[in-house]
Chain A
Amino acid sequence: MRLDTFGQKIAHIDLAAGTFEVRPAPEEWVRSYIGARGLGVRYALEAGPEVDPLGPENQLYFMNGPLTGSEASMSGRWACVTKSPLTGTVTDSHQGGWTGARVRWAGFDGLVFEGRAENPVYAFVEDGTIELRDASEIWGKGVHETVAFFQERYGAKNLAVNAIGPAGERMNRFAAWVNDDDRAFGRGGTGAVGGAKNLKAIVIRAKLTKSQVDDPDRWKEVRRDALDVIRDEVNITSPRKGGLSVYGTNVLMNVTNRIGALGTRNSQTTSFGDGAELISGEHVKETILTGDPTCHACPVACKKEVEITEGPWKGLRMESVEYEPAWSLGSNCDNADVAAIAKMIDQCNDHGMDPIELGNVLSMYMEATERGFAPEGGGLAWGDTAEMVRLTDAIGLREGEGDLLAEGTTLAATRLGHPEIAMACKGQAVPAYDPRGLKGMGLGYATSNRGACHLRAYVAAAELGVAPGDAEPLDPLEWRGKGELVKVFQDLHAFSDSLDLCKFSAFAEDATHYADQYAIALGKPFSPEDVMTAGERIYNLERRYNNLAGFGAGSDTLPARYLEEPSTEAGSKGHVSELPQMLAEYYSARGWDEGVVPDRKLRDLGVV
């Protein structure tokens, strides 16, 4: 596959007609928005920000980046972009594994699903062709059974399966696409859009294909430079030595707990005390870890496979006990039972649901119960793992109380009459960093274009001292300077999400590494300054979409709890989020008018 022809092979699949056509993306779009996240959002803007997310006019963009499936380290990523049924914003979510790579090797740079199939179908992708096939046999099945079905039918070799589960079929607003059992386009409800389209799965059969570039020696050199910093023992990415590689993302649990940044009991407090150790990456490694699976071209292997050896879920083998779900279903729900957390993550993988949103909707329901807001005959007690597991199935299947909770944290709390107990921004639930203990993360949540998100601007890297190079750690409790910092991280990550390299590459690589690798793929010079400009353009493109979709001044905010209820825990005691001050800094750095991109900014950046 030639890397410099990226964008030439975008397949448009008409679900109603059962046909597909390959058309190149406009050259100007590829040049300006790079690929994956950026290119997908550009397509979404063209389709119109006013579309009904669950209507046939909303399109579903599965987009590779110019480096997806190449030999570049950590290039097993691709993006799913659409209008979110959870937030009403444009959303993008990214998957690891091999699915994006196999789509590239099968001859496609992106798959655009348009319209709605009359009956359930799956797309079979192989060797430059796409065929829509009857999915009635597997409609209603979980992801695990669906993957096994296709492996039985087509053989497991060189096969990737990306599927929705019962949650997506029932248009649960936080339904996810899951590939090969456990790697998800997790956030934003992209799985519900698949369900609304009667699209059950994308099945790809393709074997590894090497990249072709004009200057293979330089390609090898720039990849080696990037790999060297990933392997460097000072970095957390260092294989089998760095904390991320050894313990996975859940290496974070103890540190956020100790600094008072671990939301607990629906963020009523900011520390889980001794409970955090029991759900930490260290504890998982000591007790239930069985393997360290990885993704295409990744030496880090941050995924953690576990086996439960005792208790009601004895025998369960699953991956992966990540920091986010360990928090959302753990301390956030006053639950220190890591086996129960593993069980619920696996349920999410099988139903096809976002465990961050699930944990928040459950913790919201627990607080509603505590305060007497739950419906008569319903409710959920803090840390009641048996009921949490039961409700997880009910939410996936939209049965009983699960039907309300399947609407997501914000809508469900609103329908209970108490939106103030929804810990969410723009309709999407918060991740695992309490904004009272990590100030920059709070600003990142509020200004994220897809609703609360830790990955749009992972400023925790700077606040915890793991930014690449010689960057000075920044005080997590200081709000000054976070406006500019969040902008820089958002722009850098918008670019890496468009390449599409794993977000964790940024723990080792910097804009120069990204620029050097992209320049070879592009066949033209590209500088670190170009990286930041392209990232800024993409971030403003998303913001433009959201402005047109109705998100104007006042949309960038946090739940009142973070602004008004001071932390009572060590590390952040007495602190709230100084969001208004940070927003003023941020808007100044962005050149926005209270969250709205002015026309002059769009012109300056070349955004349509």
Chain B
Amino acid sequence: MSPAPRRARASCWQRTGAPLATHLVLLAGCAVMLFPYLWMLGTSFKPADETMLWPPRVLPIHWTWANYPRVMAAAPFVRYFLNSVVVSVGSTAMVIATSLLAGFIFGKYRFPGKRLLFLVILASAMFPFETYMIPLYLTMKSLGWINTYQGIAAPYLIMSFGIFLMRQHIAHGIPDELLDAARVDGASELRIFLRVIVPLCSSAIGAIGILAFIQAWSAFIWPLLMATNRSMYLMELGLSTFQFRFTTDYHLLSAASVLNTLPMLVAFIILRRRIMESVALTGLKG
């Protein structure tokens, strides 16, 4: 065979064959990624007897809405949802406030031990929450914070990555001259913080807010320890105890799971780009 057609064939492969193969591989992967969602949604509309069919069916034969009211009647999911909202929003607001404040101090002030302190904060991010949850639990117990919002939110008020990101942003993104000019005009440090720093950090605030919200929203083991009273359950915890009651009632479990997943899915559809960018930022430390 002469070399010319071989090269032509190779370029033809490169132009259409390789991308096509790549798409096929990626699409197959997507099917695996999406399948659990599809099944969850389909099953949530199935009548009870269709969940036990063999061969299993992804979509229902007879569609029904009935599972949703039954789920809502069986467990106070609205209450769980509101609990999750309270804890996540509170945590997000606190993380933003503490990150801004600490970021400002680390970014624009000099004081003895600053480098060390900053390193300690960065290093503390390496210790996962599970390794210090016991003493934290004991502290909460002695404070009488079991079954309270502040107790459930307690570990999620400060985020060392948030401090890190804010410090980078403030130290490199906001010129000292701007602050000095404000000082010359007689602005207090607090006023500088509120009127100069905070408005200039809106993009970092958004990113940190998204990360903090996701972290609080998906918390599981801590709410499991802190909320012993059903009225204080968050969504995740509520769903897991619901699961222990209706172990194989997959139609009810699915409806409950859909309700549980929906808020995050909607948020993701609306804020997809921002969420993915924020998560990508966590790689900055590497």
Q: Do A and B come from one complex?
A: no
List chain A positions with a Cβ less than 8 A from chain B. Answer: none
